[in-house]
Amino acid sequence: MITPSNRSVPASLRFSSLLLLLPGVMPGLAAGAEARRPNILFAIADDESFGTAGAYGCSWVKTPAFDRVAAQGVLFTHAYTPNAKCAPSRAAILTGRNSWQLEAAANHWCFFPPKFKSSFEALGEHGYFTGYTGKPWAPGVARNAAGGPRFLTGREFSRRTLEPPTTGIARDDYAGNFADFLDAAPRGQPWCFWYGSREPHRPYEYGSGAAKGGKQVAGIDRVPPYWPDNDTVRHDLLDYALEVEHFDAHLGRMLADLEKRGQLEHTLVIVTSDNGMPFPRVKGQEYDFSNHLPLAIMWLARLPKPGRVVDDFVSFIDFAPTFIELAGLTPTQTGMAPMTGRSLTDLLFSDRAGHINPARDHVLIGKERHDVGRPHDWGYPIRGLVEAGMIYLHNFATTRWPEGDPVTGYLNCDGSPTKTLILEAHRANPADKYWVLAFAKRPGDELYNLRADPDCMHNLAGEPGQAATLQRMQTQLFQELKQQDDARMFGHGDVFDRYPYADASGVNFYERYLKGEKLNFSWVNPGDFEPQPKD
């Protein structure tokens, strides 16, 4: 497995031949009306971690489509979501704003505020044909000010289904639905399509990676040290790998379809994921492996020096301003709320690799409420700063459980063989280190040296030699959050806990569960629940 900062990029992907730019067109679209507005294919996996793709040097996950996009475009090594959970991560993508700038949309399963227009909605209003297949912005409820439905990612295309290769994989024929979208797109009109795979989200069919994918546990080069290294965990990883490959296979079909139609050359292709893999201490948390994600971008007609590897820090809030700029629009024209993100065109249209823009030297991350299960439906607020070689995290509510309350099954950690293994080991030995790393309560400050400790195992906060670094990073983090009007910085961060949970069946989960009510907890296993405290 590739660690967040110790990547291995094949030399063959670093440089290739120089593509000629379109005649008379400057590198940025602001050059003039001669520039052709690109089609946009945005492909987003559900819970794929950084490094588990061939272009990053991973051998046990086969991703030829992702690797093609990287080889014929740009591969990014430091792309981050601001919030490592489905709905808030996707909200940041669509709005160009950090989750703490999105009111209720900072949370998972929220009511999306009508005031925040999505980039897809804006593109649809300015000449683009928009649509999606699979998982759009979700889960949650999005309505306009009049109470009507909103189409944050355009019109749905979901008619085609297929027989899935495993019981854990959805029936969606993503590539078939994309073909329907292309058939429906008006000739000569640019389009923007959201391919939202439901994979590799859990549940998985245990053992499918080996039985149906022909994979071997010995093929995994590395298991992170915050999980036990045994066959149970390795099979869990192989099952994850098979689902990543399913996402990639549909992407490959889409690229082939575009090529057949003669549209690939003028299509901006973006391939990424919404958050890290659905394993303990990753998805739903804010460690480096939680937020650090794969990203490759290709535009055959426009990007110079295909195969470049870019090491600048980029955030998911940079996608929306990129789409808006490439569509030839100004932010004012869109009617969107002011975007905090910066267009990626400075990196895409450069002919350089490595570090390009000195201003892209860090990103901010954080979270509020994800899944319910704590008293009063409280979240677990975190803010963090990631820079070259370091990550600083501030936990605002250290008396709460970071992965969800034990009594209610640690609901912010999806059920899995790996989770079950760790919980059972903890019950046998309360001092078990894997439970402490994944589920125990945390201190107010965490500081990790990503070069020496990419897995964030050794907290440097409190060590005398690190006091200056911690203070510097905390000061920078808090100053930027204040500039972004983060409620946590002004003493009223509890507003995020008061935003209603949009899934009525889960509201007040903790209190209702303790009263004996039978509730839906389908995303965790029945054995995840710890005994209720005695009176």
Return the SS3 of 87: helix
pLDDT at position 80 is 98
Residues 194 and 153 sit within 8 Å (Cβ to Cβ): yes
Residues 129 and 120 sit within 8 Å (Cβ to Cβ): no
- Measure the CA dihedral 368/7/207/198, to 10°: 50
Return the SS3 of 113: coil
Q: List the structure tokens of 196.
A: 């939202």
Q: Which of 289, 299, 247, 295 is nearest to 3 (CA)?
A: 289
Return the SS3 of 459: coil
pLDDT at position 394 is 98
Residues 227 and 240 sit within 8 Å (Cβ to Cβ): no
Quote the CA–CA distance of 248 and 254 in Å, as a whole number: 10
* Beta pairing class for 390-395 and 382-387: antiparallel
Q: List the structure tokens of 195.
A: 């391919």
Q: List the structure tokens of 315.
A: 């955030």
Quote the CA–CA distance of 445 and 466 in Å, as a whole number: 12
Q: How many CB atoms lie within 10 A of CB 352?
A: 12
* Residue type, position 14, single letter: R
Q: How many CB atoms lie within 10 A of CB 30?
A: 11
Q: Please count the CA atoms within 13 angstroms of the CA of 158 that sit on its side-chain side.
A: 15
For 202, phi and psi rounded to 5 degrees?
-75, 160
pLDDT at position 35 is 64
DSSP state of 192: E
| 358 burial via Cβ count (<10 Å: 0-12, 13-18, 19+) | exposed
- Measure the CA dihedral 127/132/137/139, to 10°: 150
Residue 64 preceded by cis peptide, ω within 30:
no
Q: List the structure tokens of 252.
A: 């490959």
Give the CA angle between residues 520, 172, 38 to the nearest 5°: 120
Residues 509 and 372 sit within 8 Å (Cβ to Cβ): yes
- Spell out the alpha helix ranges (H) of 429-508: 433-439, 467-483, 495-498
pLDDT at position 215 is 98
- Measure the CA dihedral 115/118/120/126, to 10°: 50
Return the SS3 of 33: coil
DSSP string, 371-432: S--SGGG----EEEEEETTEEEEEES-TTS-TT--GGGT-TTS---HHHHHHHHHHHH-TT-
pLDDT at position 534 is 62
pLDDT at position 36 is 85
* Beta pairing class for 191-196 and 129-134: parallel
Q: Which of 269, 227, 476 is nearest to 363 (CA)?
A: 476
pLDDT in tens, the chain (535 residues): 544 444 444 433 332 222 223 322 334 444 433 368 999 999 999 999 999 999 999 999 999 999 999 999 999 999 999 999 999 999 999 999 999 999 999 999 999 999 999 999 999 999 999 999 999 999 999 999 999 999 999 999 999 999 999 999 999 999 999 999 999 999 999 999 999 999 999 999 999 999 999 999 999 999 999 999 999 999 999 999 999 999 999 999 999 999 999 999 999 999 999 999 999 999 999 999 999 999 999 999 999 999 999 999 999 999 999 999 999 999 999 999 999 999 999 999 999 999 999 999 999 999 999 999 999 999 999 999 999 999 999 999 999 999 999 999 999 999 999 999 999 999 999 999 999 999 999 999 999 999 999 999 999 999 999 999 999 999 999 999 999 999 999 999 999 999 999 999 999 999 999 999 999 999 999 999 999 766 5
Strands (DSSP E) contained in 135-290 are 140-142, 155-156, 191-196, 267-273
Q: Please count the CA atoms within 13 angstroms of the CA of 42 that sit on its side-chain side.
A: 27
Residues 112 and 91 sit within 8 Å (Cβ to Cβ): yes
Residues 474 and 392 sit within 8 Å (Cβ to Cβ): yes
